[in-house]
Structure 1
């Protein structure tokens, strides 16, 4: 299988740099991945986060696209419940006009933040907590592709004077909840195994394809499997560097919130955990792809085969920005 490598970047606030530099470091990594031949570079959306520094994916996508040459750039994703589908369509169609055949519009159902931020984003209205997501996704597709039926009240709206340039439409999911909707509406599907590997199974892609064909869409859609991955020169080094991301996820499950820890701080914390907490940490780590370039390539090939998916996107979170750059450089050397 000829595997395409892509990136999902959460714009982590690296402990190795001042917090204000996080967005710039995302651009720097995107430029590196462009030079290394990665296929796509997607940025995530988070609000009121001490760990992730991008609440505005449309701004980051536009910036990265203007500072790279070949790589596709997109959102992974826009949290659609907060926004007007028309405005999202206008932003991304504008970017597709300025950067033809390079812009992806990925959307998600999750809030990307707390209940308080959802309330503030919806003000002066009330948040609908994703209850209207299916309707919004259908409307967004109609605006992007000019496919609203003639009797729709918005059918005469022109998103841009020339409706031809369009972003590639993607829907994000982690455990199958969005697969049927994506297939029905004709979105490509990105499956976020890095969020919930225990409930992310190949059957989700099968259900998606069944719905795609049942809806009568032509051709075959694109699929991406997104995984957590940390690559280093040795397995021991990779597992040590992965500790920053693993402990953050464990801490979130325990209701704790603090800046990213260094790998050595994580080891100290791990030693002080209870046996059950250590088991939970180990379980999270086992859901990541961690190791040498050869080990990571082997596991990526196994996942690509199991999920019948020829594009793998990696999410890499480390305390040090240099460690993240090195991870993507080492991984690219294997493909």
Structure 2
């Protein structure tokens, strides 16, 4: 089975750094994975968090499109309950007109009351489908519904959108959610489904384990109400873990795959086969952007995705 590799970037803020540092690292990483043969690059939307710098995915998407050549670039995702559906539709119509066949519109249900979410998605699709008289040759960007359960999968199947399951949120629900999505006509096309996974790849098992411990420390403390920038290795080495932190770390480790390239590839191949997907959207957290870039580079090399820089990438959305 041929696997397409993509990126989900949440623009994590490193301890001792600034949101501007995080956004610069996002731009640098997008340029790197563009050369490494990754298929798409999604940026997230978070608000009011000292952990994440990406509060305006549409701004980041426009910037990344202007600084890359091959990647599909999109949101992972716009928090639709925060907006009237016409607004993100109009924004992404403009982006798709300026960058044909390179834009994805990913949407999520978080960020506000979810009771109108199905109606909002339907309204957004309607706005995207309106005749675009101002944009000759305009083709609507594909819409990806992002979810961590069967309700989002069922809605994607009903409305005919693409669907990406967040394995790193609810690893136990992925198979059922993707099976639910495949009930709809869109689900028959494997290119319309993806699995979002959290990995850290390093040259040695010891290095990967240390980087993984830093992630688990950050995630466990966040779960317990301590929303903080991402810790460096030194803090992780000296941190005295509480019982509650260790319990949360054990829980979160179920959805984190770390190790050398060969070990991580074996795990990812098994996940892709079990979930019936051909695309993995990889999310990696490290304090040092160089470690994160190295992780994506090693993964690309073990999958053999590295292609010539500047070669246009077109095809399946």
Tell me the TM-score normalized by structure 2.
Answer: 0.90
| Alpha-carbon distance in structure 2 between the residues aligned to 1:169 and 1:201 | 20
| Alpha-carbon distance in structure 2 between the residues aligned to 1:163 and 1:145 | 13
Q: Counterpart in 2 of 1:172?
A: 146
Q: Show structure 1 runs of 4+ deviating over 6 A.
A: none
| Alpha-carbon distance in structure 1 between the residues aligned to 2:141 and 2:287 | 33
Q: Does 1:220 align with 2:189?
A: yes
| Alpha-carbon distance in structure 1 between the residues aligned to 2:175 and 2:280 | 14
- Using a 3 Å threshold, how does the CA distance of structure 1 residues 159 and 205 change in structure 2: closer, same or farther? farther
Aligned-pair CA distance for 1:239:
1.5
| Alpha-carbon distance in structure 1 between the residues aligned to 2:155 and 2:4 | 25
Q: Is the 8 A contact 2:165 2:174 kept in 1?
A: no
Which secondary structure does the structure 2 equivalent of 1:45 belong to? coil
Q: Is the 8 A contact 2:14 2:229 kept in 1?
A: no
Q: Counterpart in 2 of 1:134?
A: 118
- Using a 3 Å threshold, how does the CA distance of structure 1 residues 17 and 298 change in structure 2: closer, same or farther? same
Q: Counterpart in 1 of 2:274?
A: 306
Q: Counterpart in 1 of 2:91?
A: 91
Q: Is the 8 A contact 1:89 1:159 kept in 2?
A: no
Which of 273, 280, 295 aligns to 2:242? It is: 273
Q: Counterpart in 2 of 1:143?
A: 127
- Using a 3 Å threshold, how does the CA distance of structure 1 residues 331 and 158 change in structure 2: closer, same or farther? closer
Which secondary structure does the structure 2 equivalent of 1:205 belong to? helix
Q: Does 1:29 align with 2:2?
A: no
Q: Counterpart in 1 of 2:311?
A: none
Q: Counterpart in 1 of 2:216?
A: 246
Query: Who wins on radius of gyration, i.e. which is larger?
Result: 1
Which of 183, 204, 215 aligns to 2:157? It is: 183
Aligned-pair CA distance for 1:143:
1.2
Q: Counterpart in 1 of 2:204?
A: 234
| Alpha-carbon distance in structure 2 between the residues aligned to 1:85 and 1:162 | 23
Which secondary structure does the structure 2 equivalent of 1:272 belong to? coil
Aligned-pair CA distance for 1:316:
0.5
Q: Is the 8 A contact 2:14 2:230 kept in 1?
A: yes
- Using a 3 Å threshold, how does the CA distance of structure 1 residues 159 and 248 change in structure 2: closer, same or farther? farther
Q: Counterpart in 1 of 2:45?
A: 45
- Using a 3 Å threshold, how does the CA distance of structure 1 residues 289 and 322 change in structure 2: closer, same or farther? same
Aligned-pair CA distance for 1:163:
7.4
Tell me the TM-score normalized by structure 1.
Answer: 0.85
Q: Is the 8 A contact 2:5 2:38 kept in 1?
A: yes
- Using a 3 Å threshold, how does the CA distance of structure 1 residues 167 and 141 change in structure 2: closer, same or farther? same
Q: Is the 8 A contact 2:181 2:187 kept in 1?
A: no
| Alpha-carbon distance in structure 1 between the residues aligned to 2:174 and 2:207 | 29
Aligned-pair CA distance for 1:60:
0.4
Aligned-pair CA distance for 1:261:
1.5
Q: Is the 8 A contact 1:90 1:159 kept in 2?
A: no
Which of 194, 208, 228 aligns to 2:181? It is: 208
Describe the superposition over 1:216-266 as per-residue Cα deviations: whole angstroms up to 9, x where unpaired. x59626111001110001112111112222122211221222222222322
Q: Counterpart in 1 of 2:11?
A: 11
| Alpha-carbon distance in structure 2 between the residues aligned to 1:158 and 1:311 | 31
- Using a 3 Å threshold, how does the CA distance of structure 1 residues 250 and 160 change in structure 2: closer, same or farther? farther
